[in-house]
Amino acid sequence: MPLIRPCPNCGVKNRIPGARLADTGRCGSCKVALPPSSAPIDVDPALFDEITGSAQVPILVDFWADWCGPCHAAAPHVAETAERMGGKALVLKVDVDRHPELAQRFQVPGFPTFVVLKDGREVRRQPGYTTASHMTAWLEEAQ
């Protein structure tokens, strides 16, 4: 289940496999460079498994809920981290109300909870609000 990203030049929708989200690619139509993913990616279980099972870079997973105040406070930091780490790491967002099975799989008791994965394995976990500088440092340590 590849991620669909529109070309910034021609608007054509391009399928990007999970293993290639941190790479620079080319639009299938106009051949303009497609930059690496530099925004948080909302995932369902299938996309989560594809990305975490094939990514060659560390992954920050934000387990969040829409009703959670600290989750909303952390959201700009999550977005900043994704932008800073574009091409070096990926940032995934899991809405625990829509996908509770992922929260259960990772035994996430509260929100937000941040998990860093490397080669599909958990290497760091942080419950509660935190800043982009901390998230960036975790991903850099995992490289």
Residue 21 phi, psi (nearest 5) = -65, -25
Q: Residue 125 forms beta bridges with which residues?
A: 115
Which structural domain, as residue segments, surrounds residue 11?
3-34
Question: Of the listed 7, 10, 30, 68, which one is catalytic?
Answer: 68
Token pair 């099972």 in the structure block, residue: 53
Same domain, yes or no: 25 and 46: no
Contact (Cβ atoms closer than 8 angstroms) between residue 34 and residue 27: yes
Question: Of the listed 7, 10, 30, 71, which one is catalytic?
Answer: 71
The radius of gyration of the chain from alpha carbons, rounded to an integer in Å, stands at 15
Query: pLDDT tens, position by position, for the chain (143 residues)?
Result: 678 999 999 999 999 999 999 999 999 999 999 999 999 999 999 999 999 999 999 999 999 999 999 999 999 999 999 999 999 999 999 999 999 999 999 999 999 999 999 999 999 999 999 999 999 999 999 99
Same domain, yes or no: 15 and 75: no
Q: Is 68 a catalytic residue?
A: yes
pLDDT at 77: 98
pLDDT at 1: 65
pLDDT at 2: 75
Q: Number of folded domains in the chain?
A: 2
What is the spatial distance between Cα 88 and Cα 52, in angstroms, rounded to a whole number?
Answer: 14
